[in-house]
Structure 1
Amino acid sequence: MHDNHDDDSYSWPTCAAGPETGVHSHKLWAAEVGRLVCRPCEDQTAKRLSELGPLFRRLNETATLMRGARRPGGATSGSRTPPIPPRLEVLALTANGGVATRLQAIEDSWRTALGWTVAPWRGSPAQAVPAHLKFLANNLPWAVDSYESIGQDIDDLRRLHAECVAVAANEHRPGRVSIGRCPARYDDGHLCRADLTATASSHRVHCGQCGARWETLGEWKQLREQQDAVLREDAGVAA
């Protein structure tokens, strides 16, 4: 039971992350007095921080496939066919202004409260997100004890986590679209050339005609390179 004060004139401390439990605010336990956030809310926030890393990596892989495989040296594929259908919610979370930017805003506010310099530039969102998450996880015990705006930050992290989970779960499954022709060759050297399709929910591609498969990110890139090689070969024959 909560060891709440019976005096009506006394306002018992409440958890700054009240909405976590589905109520406006909930009272702290006697052993939690002196903290701003209760331990269950702290534990749930720590869990979300640990899950955001794998969620972001999954979304970033999907975003990479949407943008198209890149060759060594940074040149993009010459194919005009989009690699897989773009989903704006995926691109929005993985680009600048998405997960990395929102995590950095929280880190910067904590650094300011601690009297530290703002978060250093850490490169691309894929490079920055793990560093932001590590900082927040390491300093969460301080924040739940001492940072007055921690309730808003916990709510922001809750919303960000929910967005990533919803997008990663692919609640609105896109239809299949054409991604070009199959570049596999039969034993006699002839090209398959069957139409290939894919969705944003998976980078696995299976040719229904010859049975060729591309099932990993590395194999997807090989598929794009093989398709470009066939395009160059066809262009040479036409010339």
Structure 2
Amino acid sequence: MHDNSDQDDYQWPMCVTPRCNRQLWVAEAGRYACRPCEDRAAKHLTELGPLFRRLTETGTLMRGARRPGGATSGSRTPPIPPRLEVLALTANGGVATRLRDIEDSWRKALGWTVAPWRGSSTQAVPEHLRFLANNLPWAVSSYESIGQDIDELRKLHAECTAVAANERRPGRVSIGRCPARYDDGTHCRADLTATASSHRVRCGQCGARWETLGEWRELRAAQEAVTAEQAQETGVAA
């Protein structure tokens, strides 16, 4: 396969992936990317699904979640601080768009039609990942630009991992006062704070906790009920 390797000007084939560029083994002859790079790309594709779901959940909490069916009274959870890096990865131009661009280039090289459906990013990302994982063996052997795509998957995986791991911790912001009651019926009223790194809220004064989306809804409803109660008491006192 490399029968001209004794020639002075012969250059042994090398992996086309940036940051690798190692010489291919004889057993890898005919490939554009080496097997270690293929294995890393496959691993990145496997891990991007769970990473994206985690970022999507954080993005939902930043917008404030609503109950299915469109109910509004007491149904909106307290939003948590926005993180631009989360929004950049979950919105248009983020993970779904970058995976779509790779898929489209592979489909074009294969002579296949571009996938006609797109849907939301939550719907599209699993489909893009499935396509890329299924066709990765073809790409490393037959697609000349595979090195750039493997590098793009590496970058995308690194970005999602860094954001999901909250390497850049956002500050905490106030989301209202604690609506919990003491045994004597009085409200705690301590300031509550939240951060985009977690949807769990704990009152540092009375110890009350809200940890799930359902409990976030209960927190918002309880806060609104306390506000309404206080407004009524003020009106009576006046």
TM-score (norm 2): 0.87
- 1-structure distance, mates of 2:112, 2:214: 41
Q: Which residue of the other structure, out of 159, 170, 175, is the alignment partner of 1:174?
A: 170
Provide structure 1 residue ranges, at least 5 long, that are not aligned to the other structure: none
Provide structure 2 residue ranges, at least 5 long, that are not aligned to the other structure: none
Match of 2:11 in 1: 11
CA contact (8 A) 1:181 1:195 kept: yes
Q: How big is the shift at 1:221?
A: 3.4
**Residue 219 of structure 1 aligns to which amino acid in structure 2?**
E
1:16–1:74 Cα change, 3 Å: farther
1:97–1:235 Cα change, 3 Å: farther
TM-score (norm 1): 0.86
Higher relative contact order by CA 8 Å / sep ≥ 6: 1 or 2?
Answer: 2
Which segment drifts farther, 93-102 or 114-123? 114-123
Q: How big is the shift at 1:229?
A: 4.2
**Residue 15 of structure 1 aligns to which amino acid in structure 2?**
C
Q: How big is the shift at 1:18?
A: 4.1
**Residue 210 of structure 1 aligns to which amino acid in structure 2?**
C
Match of 1:90 in 2: 86
Whether 1:130 and 2:137 are equivalent positions in the alignment is no
Q: Which residue of the other structure, out of 194, 198, 204, is the alignment partner of 1:198?
A: 194
Q: How big is the shift at 1:235?
A: 5.5
1:225–1:5 Cα change, 3 Å: farther
Which segment drifts farther, 229-238 or 121-130? 229-238
* Partner SS for 1:178: strand
- 2-structure distance, mates of 1:219, 1:124: 27
1:4–1:179 Cα change, 3 Å: farther
- 2-structure distance, mates of 1:215, 1:180: 16
Match of 1:33 in 2: 29
Which segment drifts farther, 56-65 or 118-127? 118-127
> What do the CA deviations read for 1:185-220 (whole angstroms, capped 9, x no partner)?
334544333211011111110012222101233322
**Residue 133 of structure 1 aligns to which amino acid in structure 2?**
L
1:4–1:209 Cα change, 3 Å: farther
Whether 1:116 and 2:109 are equivalent positions in the alignment is no
Larger Rg: 2
* Partner SS for 1:129: helix
- 2-structure distance, mates of 1:164, 1:184: 36
Coordinate RMSD, CA, aligned: 2.7
CA contact (8 A) 2:176 2:191 kept: yes
1:187–1:92 Cα change, 3 Å: same
1:61–1:80 Cα change, 3 Å: closer
> What do the CA deviations read for 1:62-104 (whole angstroms, capped 9, x no partner)?
1111111213334668899962211101111011211011101
